[in-house]
Amino acid sequence: MKKIQNQKGAALVIVLALLIVILGLAITFLNRVSIERTSSASYASAANTRNLADTAVNLVQGQIRAATIQGDNIAWASQPGMIRTYGSLSGSTTTASAALLKAFKLYSASNMVQTSSATLTTEDAPAGTWVADKAIWTDLNA
């Protein structure tokens, strides 16, 4: 009878040991899942930040491309924050002219392309003292 009781005690110890191992594995698994979730959320946040930064760069590149490939008879000039194109457009024909055709803004604005110099505001063209106003204007040629 004593041998059966010893076997029951050994079985109890084995079962408890297995439960502890299984519980340890479950806790380890849940901990790893939590770490992976945090890591993937961090990666997604960094990817969104990169995409937003790339959006601004791509917008400016698109504006530069649109301003500089309008046609053979269109002249363009750049200034900090804007590319101005000069010429005349009659129908589908462009001719050389000193008249402002379009002004392509290289910064965030509600209207990214102005078609008339009358609609340009003082924010679109820097004043004579723009060099001193570093918070608004940057000299890209400096």
Q: Using pLDDT thresholds of 50, 70 and 90, give the confidence band for residue 4.
A: low
User: Residue 104 — φ and ψ, nearest 5°?
Assistant: -95, 115
Which residues contact residue 57 at a Cβ distance below 8 angstroms, ignoring those fewer than 6 apart? Answer: none
Q: How far apart are the first and last CA of the chain?
A: 98
Is the overall model pTM greater than 0.75, yes or no? Answer: no
Which range has highest mean pLDDT (33-42, 83-92, 95-104)? Answer: 33-42
pLDDT top residue among 2 and 101: 101
Q: Using pLDDT thresholds of 50, 70 and 90, give the confidence band for residue 21.
A: very high
Tokens of 122: 């003082």
Q: Which pLDDT score is estimated for 51? A: 93
Share of the chain above pLDDT 70, in %: 75
pLDDT in tens, 24-67: 999 999 999 999 999 999 999 999 999 998 988 898 899 999 88
Its sign, for the CA torsion 95, 112, 66, 137, is: positive
Identity (one letter) of the amino acid at 85?
Answer: T
Tokens of 42: 């961090």
Identity (one letter) of the amino acid at 107?
Answer: Y
Q: Which pLDDT score is estimated for 141? A: 66
